[in-house]
A and B are shown apart, each in its own frame.
Chain A
């Protein structure tokens, strides 16, 4: 790892000032993506600015029909939160399926969403639930937030404060994990909104990262049953192909995982 200087964030004003003034800065939260990247010299920020202690990024609250999760909440906090379990049980169980126990103790929801790894779990939930990303500058709808593999609509220096999830009528998540890395080879989050609309978001499989599967949304809005999904054929042309699976295999998995997520409403199906 190259040299770096660590700065513990004390306030929003202070971290924004540090980010604006210091050379080659990077925000850090749990660090479980950034530190491995720094060890491999894929990233070499000269200054690390730690966001975890900022009070604006802390806390999980239910506010009417919204569930608000502070960006610095680690996966274990989301998994163990009674507010999350009561509001969106599939989201708590999704958090409990990320990485391993030690990773869940450090990795944060804000870090995961800002990084937008093409095989991360949270982007699927954020997109399917139609969440809003609240930053220190504005509010961004999930649909506009994820702009491609490892890419988001965040501006340089912009900080995610929290993520607001509308509480759905029901939601479910199904994932096939890589047994070594625990990342999704393909996973699908299916949510039914309080207005009856259906959203399907797929992670791990798309060549541009997380995506909404509109054909499945339409079919499930007409009839919310696994047969609606099984009649569809996802396009292998938009799927990722790597040593873990071909595009055709992933296209087949997208269908299977989406059908399982329909079956798993109120829960998750992790394999």
Chain B
């Protein structure tokens, strides 16, 4: 066992982990943050996607010990209190989920994509960058729509006041 400290959704957690403990297991079993799903456990489905130091990663393929000192954001950390954040809101409005199992991973992956492209996205880019997230209900059409809508919200919120005035 070794001790690790991770900052998860803005709070520091120090816990003992085994060398083989995966980040997804650490989040789910030790911190009880079960919004991070484990779908395939083979690095394919992306349901376990979280942001680690700001970048979307598959937490089922990262050792908790290797994440020592990292800052992690999970689906539990995105809403503003009771209010859905802009990505969640767009998923809600565009009916971008059916069974909902893949949704936490989709939202976290979408957050990275939108931020990295500063909200300037087209359909092909979203489809390409979401390749690592599988939806077995095959609800991709509305997921893409939701990501594009959320990107638009993000872009507007970041636009300088002058540009908005024009």
Contacts and interface: CB of A to CB of B under 8 A. Distances in A.
Which one of B42, B43, B65 has the greatest number of beta carbons of chain A within 10 Å?
B43
Contacts of B113: 101
Given A31-B62, A36-B61, A3 B55 contact: no
B20 A4 contact: yes
Interface residues of B, number: 29
A106 B44 CA distance: 14
Contacts of A100: 46, 131-133
A106 B19 contact: no
Given A100-B132, A101-B132, A32 B43 contact: yes
A39 B42 contact: yes
A5 B132 CA distance: 29
Contacts of B58: 102-103, 106
Interface residues of A, number: 27
B12 interface: no
A102 B132 contact: yes
Interface string A146-182: 0000000000000000000000000000000000111
A6 B21 CA distance: 10
21 contacts: A3-B19, A4-B19, A5-B19, A6-B66, A8-B68, A31-B61, A31-B63, A32-B43, A35-B62, A36-B42, A36-B43, A48-B19, A50-B66, A99-B132, A101-B56, A101-B109, A101-B131, A102-B49, A102-B56, A105-B57, A180-B44
Interface of B: 2, 18-20, 22, 41-44, 46, 49, 55-58, 61-63, 65-66, 68, 109, 112-113, 129-133
Interface of A: 1-6, 8, 28, 31-32, 35-36, 38-39, 48, 50, 76, 99-103, 105-106, 180-182
